[in-house]
Every structure is written in C-alpha cells, then in structure tokens.
Structure 1
Amino acid sequence: MAAKLEIKHLGKRFARNEALRDVNLALAENEFVSLVGVSGCGKSTLLSIVAGLLDYEAGDILIDGAPMEGPGLDRGVVFQSYTLLPWLSARGNVEFALKAAGHKGKAVREIAEEHLALVRLSKFMDAYPHELSGGMKQRVAIARALSYRPKVLLMDEPFGALDAMTRHEMQTLLTGVWEKHRLTVLFVTHDVEEAVYLSDRIVAMTIGPGRIKTEFKVDLPRPRPAGITTSPEFIALQSQVLATIREDLHPDED
C-alpha cells in the first residue's frame, strides 16, 4: 500500500547554507511520527516544506502518491504560536477556516462546534483569543486544523510555549483526538519524552546539513496511560533517543 505522505531525496538550501540533504521519509496511513534532533538540524524547515510554506531545490513530496503543489487543504498545520485571528471568537476562528475550505450554511457552525467540543472547549466557543489561556488557544488551533479533515496534520513544537502541567494535559488531549480521528501526523519536538509518549515512530535528524540519522519504533501499547512514562520500556527508549541526539552535541568525542 502506498504511503500517505512520502518525502523522496529532498534537498533545501538557504543562500550558502545547505539546510537539508537527501531526506527520505514515508508516513503510513494513521501513523504518528515525531521528528527530533539538535537545534538547526532542519526539523522545522522540513515541516514547513511539507506544509507548502517553503520551496525546495531537490526531491519530491507525494501525498497519496500525488505530487504536492504548495499549501493545500489536504494538510492541517499547527505551530507553536497560536496564529488565531484576534477579532474572531473561538468558534469564529474555526468557522473562518471551514468557509475558506468551501463549507457553507448551517454545516459551518455544526462542524465548528463539533470540533471545539472534541478539544473540550464547548463552554468557551464565544470567547475571544485574549480571553483564553495558552493551552486553550492551542486547542482552538488544533480544532481549526482538524475541522476541514486534512489527510495529514503537521505540528511544529505546538506545546513548546506551555508550562509543564498544561503541556502534559495537551499531550493527553492530542492522543485522545488522534485515536478518535486516526489521521497521519508529522510532529516536530525538542522534548524526547513527549516524542516517546505520543509517537508510533521517532525519526532522529542530524545536523550539517540536515539528514535522517536513525529511526526508533515506539513499541508501547495504546492508549497510553500517564504512568507509562515511568515504565522501564519507556525510559529505555527515551535514553536511546537522547543518546543519539547527544552525539550531535559532541561530535568529536569518542
């Protein structure tokens, strides 16, 4: 069966800097894959290219076997910054995306309310962004990205600006949403514990230029309870991923 998202021999340069070289990665239907690696290894650049927000000089990107051509509704994107429209309510932000995707009439409000309920914001549908906490704003952004049913959800450090307690709450919520919707997710994070907790597979990138270094299969049961982070299997995998990343922090050490 063809991959849902396939990146083939991707290359990207910024002026004299080669940001990505010969990146090859395939994501299966409903697979949750996290990208990890040291700062500057190209994780966010790769995600922005897949989102259609950056061009590239070499390679191909395929979605369901068809070439990707710029931004599209087949991909939903959630960034660390909430990117909500401040003059619209939570419901209005989701409805705005739905109208842009071609939805009309009564269905727009129904779909918006369904997705805000999915991220537990039913009581805050009429609140404006300045009235919401950081975690709530990110929940609106997730609801908006899911509302038009993209084939692939792209997430770039979506919980990086949140405090530890809210971050854990958002991780739990995201796994619940993903298990309900079952869509393909490409997730960028610096937090290895987060990557292990969320993912089916972790892809470690290396620097200078950015390339795929190694992959780790996360063979942990789903759904994943909060206590799984203290299990021997979880800790062992987390240590392996961290060791791989640390090799790029001290490349000259034996």
Structure 2
Amino acid sequence: MNTAPKLAITALSKTFGSGRSQTVALRDISLTLADNEFVSLVGTSGCGKSTILSIVAGLQDYDEGTVLVDGAPIKGPGLDRGVVFQSYTLLPWLTARQNVEFALKAAGYKKNASRDLADEHLKLVNLEKFAEAYPSQLSGGMKQRVAIARALSYRPKMLLMDEPFGALDALTRHQMQQLLTRIWEEHRLTVLFVTHDVEEAVYISDRIVVMGMSPGYIKQSFPVALPRPRHQRMIGSDEFVAIQRDVMAAIRGVAD
C-alpha cells in the first residue's frame, strides 16, 4: 500500500516585490495531503491561502522550499492538477459541452473521445440537459458546475479550488457543496480547497488547516471526523458546531 503523500510542501517561502516594497507572503510553510484527502485552507484575508494554491497549481513560482506531487517537483501547470477559481473562466463563445471539450482537446484527446468525456462529466454535475447552452444562458451555479466538469474531465490526480462558491447565493452555495461532496465521495481524489467560510470548510473537509499572516504561516490543523456521506442536517449537530467553534477561535487568535 502506498502511504506517500499526494502533495508534500516543505519549508515553502514566497516574497513579492523587492527592496523597500518587498512583502513576505509565505514563510516556512510545510503541509502534506494524503491520497484522496479533502483539505481546506482557511484564515483571514491576505494570509496567503490563494498564493499556496497558485504555487501548487504551477501558476506562481516560489523562493525557497519544495513542492512535490507524487514525489516529483512541480514545474508549472500540469494535467495532474485540475484548477477551479471563483470566477468561472468559461469561454463565452463556446457551449457548455464545447468548454469541456476545449480542455480535453488541449490535453490531447481525440474529437470523439472528447465529446464522450464531456458528456459524461456534464452528466456527473447534472448538466446533461444544458450541453448546448452558452455561458450567458446559464446561472452562476451552472457555470461553476461546467468549470468543475471541465477540471475533472481529463482525470487529474488532484483538484485545486480557490473560493469556487464565493460568488454564489446561499442556496446555490449549499447545493454546490452537496454536489462537490457527492462527486468526491463517489470518485475520490485529493482536493485542496481555499475558503473563508468556516461552515463550508467543516461540511466538506477531512481536515481544516488554519493559516496566520504577516507573513503567512500554518497556525493549526483540525481533523473533521464527521461521518460520510455528509448531509445538511449535520450542520446543527453538536459535533459540527464544536469543530466550527474551535476553527473560528483559531482564526480569531490569528487575527488578534
């Protein structure tokens, strides 16, 4: 059995700017994610959550430390990592199916395989009836479901999500949380999820990592031992509220 971490970040540091305008964004960050583990990063704005995710995605470089996926160093963006941002990043002139196909073709899939995989993943996110719709014809939640389908379609080893539900209304946000947890519970992959919503983090995660700031550092880690599959009735339970309270206390401690 392979017990090596899927993601291993060791002594990571990142600085923006130079000279007097230099800002240390991250200092000595060490974090591992196991295979199929769902981990959320939380903390006050500006603590470096999104910077870590961008580095793991290969979209930013870093100054010191190592970042390994399956034991290999990250050398830029790669098909082993799917990325979903808060903004939907869909191409407006393409239909939902074509947006997913676009990513698959870029990954080297042939036309017929791309169409079949696009349809399979649109069905996975309950959008098979909207395959021919353009982004302008879709709600915010639907657009984000297309983005998730696209990120999953080329079978990445890891899903990186940066506030993916932050722009959605409360009802749609809860629906997306349920959808994401269902997909993860059925298909299992490693997820690194950035959010400012502690309730969301408790609901979806196996583990919550609280970050401090100035510069960004790992403050504390909280296991979430709630049973799966998760459901909305859990949110009012004593166990759920206790984890949420402890995480909030850690964040407030960081901010003081």
Assess same fold via TM > 0.5.
yes
Q: Does 1:86 align with 2:88?
A: no
Correspondences of 1:34-183 after superposition (within 5 Å):
34-183=40-189
User: Which secondary structure does the structure 2 equivalent of 1:214 belong to?
Assistant: strand
Deviation at 1:107, TM superposition (A): 1.0
Q: Which runs of 5+ in 1 are unaligned?
A: none
Deviation at 1:249, TM superposition (A): 2.4
Distance 1:58 1:248 in 2: 24
Distance 2:4 2:230 in 1: 28
Q: Does 1:229 align with 2:235?
A: yes
Correspondence for 2:13 among 11, 14, 17: 11
Distance 1:177 1:2 in 2: 24
User: Which secondary structure does the structure 1 equivalent of 2:214 belong to?
Assistant: coil
Distance 1:189 1:105 in 2: 36
Deviations 1:168-204 (A, max 9, x none): 0000000011112100000000000000000000000
4+ residue stretches of structure 1 with deviation over 4 A? none
Distance 1:179 1:95 in 2: 25
Aligned residues: 250
Structure 1: which amino acid aligns with 2:13? Answer: G
Q: Which runs of 5+ in 2 are unaligned?
A: none
Deviations 1:225-254 (A, max 9, x none): 11000000000000000010011222xxxx
Distance 2:180 2:225 in 1: 19
Correspondence for 1:27 among 29, 33, 36: 33
Deviation at 1:105, TM superposition (A): 2.9
CA RMSD, 1 decimal: 0.6
TM-score, structure 2 normalization: 0.97
2:202–2:240 Cα contact (<8 Å) kept: yes
Deviation at 1:50, TM superposition (A): 0.6
TM-score, structure 1 normalization: 0.98
Deviation at 1:130, TM superposition (A): 0.4
Deviation at 1:119, TM superposition (A): 0.2
Deviation at 1:37, TM superposition (A): 0.3
User: Which secondary structure does the structure 2 equivalent of 1:7 belong to?
Assistant: strand
- Provide the identity percentage: 70
2:219–2:254 Cα contact (<8 Å) kept: no
Structure 2: which amino acid aligns with 1:100? Answer: A
User: Which secondary structure does the structure 2 equivalent of 1:241 belong to?
Assistant: helix
Distance 1:109 1:186 in 2: 28
